[in-house]
Structure 1
């Protein structure tokens, strides 16, 4: 695919009026030719940076839902795109919507125009739009796709929140402990050394641990930096990504959340494509393209190959060992009864509800547990620092 750049322009039309806007083109010459073709004499033409954050799925889902609403209201597809472009606050989206409308006016189909922007519109979007074009139900397909994307995004955010919460709390606890060890404890230790009285065992243990941490600060920092750099490099290695995903799936609590979220995504997309009239193999390819984890992409690729060679869907999925017995049983039932789309929808709803319940349950258990752990750690440090104060009166009385 040819790389397109965002160009902001201003110019004068044939009526002498000043016009301005933004346009996507491969280079400056192509952008100038486009303006001349629109009978605009350019005055300025500047390349503008593209904010990748605006290409996130939530922005596309909002536009997709608005587009479906306009189509149901009776507007044509080009008119809807131009109206959305006028209302959108982001210049790069305005230019993109104008670009799509122009492609439609030149005879391209909407699905073909979307495929030219894979960084913005996933392959599933183009497949669903193509199905809507063939069936004449583009607005319905857009609504279904937007709902599916919004549901999956909400589930993914809930799972990430449940997994990140412990890390955030533990990180804050570690920061507090480090601050007390390096800033507070040395001051108390210096004060207590001026009194000729033995310190309690708890205080001596805490001060000894703090001294050990201070002496090992440099090696510990170097080790932490090494681990961070190593993990950053490993994120680009396919073998490591496969191993990390298998490791996560084996974890007692985290594994259930990760597996449930992935299975919910897989069966939701498969159900959506099946009900829209897309073949199962094509739907499997669409699911694979929506997954970012190489491990699950390979799982679906292998299942696709087995089904292509004549294996039953349930047999191919069971062979991977990543699908629950309930999945295999319901899919096998759907193959026999001819109600595969219904079974896929039931599996998607089951895994979505189960994963949400597990995430809520995990959060409800971890919140008080982490508060107790944090309170114990900080409480031990505070008690160890102030416990010798109760003995200072005796020490001062003895010296008097």
Structure 2
């Protein structure tokens, strides 16, 4: 069924807009009038826009992507409606009217139409891989197959909300140090480029012998003043080059490998990837997805190419009949405690619950480690800024002190 975007006027004369599905534009206008609004413009939405439309709307649509928080909220609401006895299609219809994002409304309308046409819910969700991950689609498929869709949706909502909460806590903890680093760098750059040269020019005009710190400061500020544009250009070029390298498979692999080797943060990256692996694998196995299929899905969401390769190799060994814990232990990448817990879970027949415990342990360790690191980074940044500014002040004051001694 076609989907239409519309603009209409309410009875009070206010402009409103939305998404509606109908067999034709005439029926779409009738539905809009049934909402006690007067249609002003009705336009059909196409899945595959022309090249000209794509170029025109690509920038705007970049800011209209469906966010994980929107998906989590939809999942929770859909699980509640289905648990209350609503059929799937009417439940999605209710959520379309409540969703604020037009981009998400369009996707939900197309998903509903796909279900009406006879496709499964999982198949319909797979039409939008950017919004609904492979993990999401496969868990929904497992829920449909087993008749426990509402339970799976509740579980998916828990997973999505938990991951978003963890990311938000980590981002909140790192926000202040990152902001301090950025502001400090900008302030020092402006000082050395524009402020210091105007002050130190007084000393150079005097023709007097200057202390070594002052000479160093004058030379540094002169370099920044003369080549500040080159510094900015090199910085931008490095960012572009790094992004281009990361977009290649080999570059991504080298970056992920170097991230794991970094002192301090490398261990955090590894723990976060292992936590994501354990949480996702445990959820998939709990909902009836086979081990090999679950490992194939999990390797794509761990966020590190090196660990993804380890999981892929382990899947091949599991296919040959080897235990998962033993297969993962051969790589020496996974922490020993996670390997031991997986082996115990396999031997006791409680692998799913053990994987969830692994995720709880490592997520807690990552969060506490980030908090500890930020508590150390904040005073360290203040100390570095103080030393830098103190050096600038001292370099400027030393010649003044020497001039005072000569006058006396």
In the other structure, the counterpart of 1:27 is none
Deviations 1:282-301 (A, max 9, x none): 22122123345433332222
Contact conserved, 1:271 with 1:345, CA < 8 A, in 2?
yes
In the other structure, the counterpart of 2:34 is none
TM-score norm. by structure 1 comes to 0.83
In the other structure, the counterpart of 1:16 is none
Contact conserved, 1:156 with 1:261, CA < 8 A, in 2?
no
For residues 56-135 of structure 1, the aligned pairs below 5 Å read 56-135=67-146
Aligned-partner SS, 1:8: strand
In the other structure, the counterpart of 1:15 is none
Post-superposition shift, 1:55?
1.8
In the other structure, the counterpart of 2:13 is none
Post-superposition shift, 1:260?
1.0
Post-superposition shift, 1:362?
0.8
Post-superposition shift, 1:381?
1.0
1:250 and 2:261 are equivalent in the alignment = yes
Distance 1:76 1:209, change over 3 A: same
**Greater CA drift, 218-227 or 172-181:** 218-227
Contact conserved, 2:193 with 2:221, CA < 8 A, in 1?
yes
Post-superposition shift, 1:239?
1.0
1:276 and 2:276 are equivalent in the alignment = no
Distance 1:161 1:318, change over 3 A: farther
1:45 and 2:43 are equivalent in the alignment = yes
1:35 and 2:45 are equivalent in the alignment = no
1:154 and 2:154 are equivalent in the alignment = no
Post-superposition shift, 1:7?
5.5
- Distance in 2 (alpha carbons) for counterparts of 1:282 and 1:136: 20
Contact conserved, 2:79 with 2:151, CA < 8 A, in 1?
yes
Contact conserved, 2:4 with 2:28, CA < 8 A, in 1?
no
Contact conserved, 1:122 with 1:289, CA < 8 A, in 2?
no
Deviations 1:317-346 (A, max 9, x none): 112222111111111111111111121111
Distance 1:380 1:36, change over 3 A: closer
Aligned-partner SS, 2:113: helix
Contact conserved, 1:111 with 1:126, CA < 8 A, in 2?
yes
Contact conserved, 2:345 with 2:351, CA < 8 A, in 1?
yes
Distance 1:240 1:160, change over 3 A: farther
Post-superposition shift, 1:307?
0.9
- Distance in 2 (alpha carbons) for counterparts of 1:202 and 1:238: 47
**CA root-mean-square deviation:** 3.2
Contact conserved, 1:10 with 1:45, CA < 8 A, in 2?
no
In the other structure, the counterpart of 1:341 is 352
In the other structure, the counterpart of 1:324 is 335
Contact conserved, 1:241 with 1:295, CA < 8 A, in 2?
no
- Distance in 2 (alpha carbons) for counterparts of 1:196 and 1:246: 54
- Distance in 1 (alpha carbons) for counterparts of 2:42 and 2:27: 15
Contact conserved, 1:159 with 1:257, CA < 8 A, in 2?
no
**Greater CA drift, 184-193 or 251-260:** 184-193
List gaps (5 residues or longer) in structure 2.
Answer: 9-15, 31-38, 46-52
In the other structure, the counterpart of 1:176 is 187
In the other structure, the counterpart of 1:350 is 361
Contact conserved, 1:162 with 1:362, CA < 8 A, in 2?
no
In the other structure, the counterpart of 2:5 is 8
Distance 1:133 1:218, change over 3 A: closer
- Distance in 2 (alpha carbons) for counterparts of 1:51 and 1:212: 42
1:262 and 2:259 are equivalent in the alignment = no
- Distance in 1 (alpha carbons) for counterparts of 2:128 and 2:389: 52
Number of paired residues? Answer: 379
Distance 1:39 1:223, change over 3 A: closer
Deviations 1:44-94 (A, max 9, x none): 536684734432222111111111122223322212111111111222222
Distance 1:21 1:346, change over 3 A: closer
In the other structure, the counterpart of 1:230 is 241
- Distance in 1 (alpha carbons) for counterparts of 2:331 and 2:4: 48
- Distance in 2 (alpha carbons) for counterparts of 1:226 and 1:96: 37
